[in-house]
Amino acid sequence: AAGCSIICKCPEETPASPIGLVRCFHDAGVPAGVLNLVYGVPAEISEYLIPHPTIRKVSFTGSIPVGKKLAALAGEHMKRVTMELGGHAPVLVFDDVEAEDVAKTMSFMKYRNAGQVCISPTRFFVHEKVYDRFVGKFADLAKSLKVGDGLDPTSKMGPLANPRRVNAIESFVLDAQEKGAKAATGGKRIGNQGNFFEPTVLTDVPESARIMNEEPFGPVAVMLRFKDTDEVLARANKLQFGLASYAFTKSAKTAAKVADTLDHGMVTINHLGLALPETPFGGVKESGYGHEGGVEGLQVYMVAKFVSHLG
């Protein structure tokens, strides 16, 4: 441990879960005053805490626009920051894999927490030779998911965080459909109560669609064909997001090229082991900088001091 006391600014729309987490730490023996919670208007809290001389380090997880504002505020006061911001994770599915098996793996990852995860896969680049098999299986799995109350053990996907997210996802889908996209499954909000949206799979999505260029942060998977490795790597790197990326191939040569070329802070090949406590977690480009986890995540909370003593 780095030995730093922490002030945690809790999300205003989910205030209870941080309390439960902090209670776990207190029950484990963390002394009072070491891990602290604050609630309130986000801008007011940030504008008070970040410039305060007691604060030496700022870590933020959230959207790119808010991250830029907080990084600028921290820069005015020479505070070190870790920025874990938005993503638009590409998935590369090559033609030498079992497409249906990959669809099972990635559908679970896509609809986890209703897609409200910064590393959620969103842009699925599938080789044309296995495209139909992959999309067919993925859409069937999405259609079979039971959407409902997160406290219901039979539910496989819960609600979105708030009505704004439902409106945003609906807007993304309608925009894509107006520009020629088709819904292989889903595409609509569910009922008039709660913030529920169908697990959605879109095909034939043009590059001009908003969902191709903005982080959806919801239960929508975009399916895209590719033929050539160089072409798909260029398309995967096109955006200013650079958090997570995924690839599936049996070729060691292809895997090495993918690992070298993808401009993302995290690349996983043939598995989902991306967020591990012993490994660095973080992005590049507009997805932020700095790391959580691993030795790298610890070092950002420490200061190197050189001492020379001639006795």
Token representation of residue 54: 């007691």
CA dihedral over 288, 34, 14, 23, signed as positive or negative: positive
Residues labelled catalytic: 84, 118
Those residues with Cβ within 8 angstroms of residue 288's Cβ, 6 or more apart along the chain or in another chain: 64, 67, 82, 83, 84, 85, 243, 282
Instruction: Give 131-179 pLDDT, tens digit per residue.
Output: 999 999 999 999 999 999 989 999 999 999 999 999 999 999 999 999 9
The CATH class given to the 6-85+280-299 domain equals alpha beta
Rounded distance, CA 259 to CA 150, Å? 36
Contact criterion met (CB below 8 Å) for 212 and 203: no
Look at residue 172 in the predicted model and tell me its pLDDT. 99
Task: Give the residue extent of every domain in the chain.
Answer: 6-85+280-299, 89-269
Look at residue 36 in the predicted model and tell me its pLDDT. 95
Those residues with Cβ within 8 angstroms of residue 76's Cβ, 6 or more apart along the chain or in another chain: 51
Helices 252-261 and 229-236 pack at an angle, to 10 degrees, of 30
Look at residue 12 in the predicted model and tell me its pLDDT. 86
**Cβ atoms within 10 A of the Cβ of 259, count?**
13
Contact criterion met (CB below 8 Å) for 89 and 243: yes
Comparing CA positions, the residue from 59, 10, 90, 52 lying closest to residue 301 is 59
pLDDT tens digits for the chain (311 residues)?
788 999 999 988 888 999 999 999 999 999 999 999 999 999 999 999 999 999 999 999 999 999 999 999 999 999 999 999 999 999 999 999 999 999 999 999 999 999 999 999 999 999 999 999 999 999 999 999 999 998 999 999 999 999 999 999 999 999 999 999 999 999 999 988 899 999 999 999 999 999 999 999 999 999 999 999 999 999 999 999 999 999 999 999 999 999 999 999 999 999 999 899 999 999 999 999 999 999 999 999 999 999 999 98
Token representation of residue 144: 């079979």
Those residues with Cβ within 8 angstroms of residue 255's Cβ, 6 or more apart along the chain or in another chain: 247, 249, 269, 270
The SS3 call for residue 248 is strand
CA dihedral over 25, 28, 32, 34, signed as positive or negative: negative
Length of the chain, in residues:
311
Rounded distance, CA 300 to CA 269, Å? 27
Look at residue 170 in the predicted model and tell me its pLDDT. 98
Phi/psi-derived region of residue 290, left when phi > 0, alpha when psi is between -120 and 50, beta in every other case? left
- Which stretches within the chain are classed as H helix? 16-27, 42-49, 64-76, 99-111, 131-144, 163-178, 229-236, 252-261, 294-299
Look at residue 2 in the predicted model and tell me its pLDDT. 83
Which residues are bridge partners to 63 per DSSP?
Answer: none
What pTM did the predictor assign? 0.94
- Strand pairing category for 182-185 and 200-203: antiparallel
C-alpha pair distances (Å), 108 with each of 103, 159, 169, 247, 268: 9, 16, 19, 15, 16
Rounded distance, CA 161 to CA 113, Å? 10
Look at residue 192 in the predicted model and tell me its pLDDT. 83
Q: In 3-state terms, the chain is what percent helix, strand and coil (to 5)?
A: 35, 20, 45
| 89-269 homologous superfamily | Aldehyde Dehydrogenase; Chain A, domain 2 (3.40.309.10)
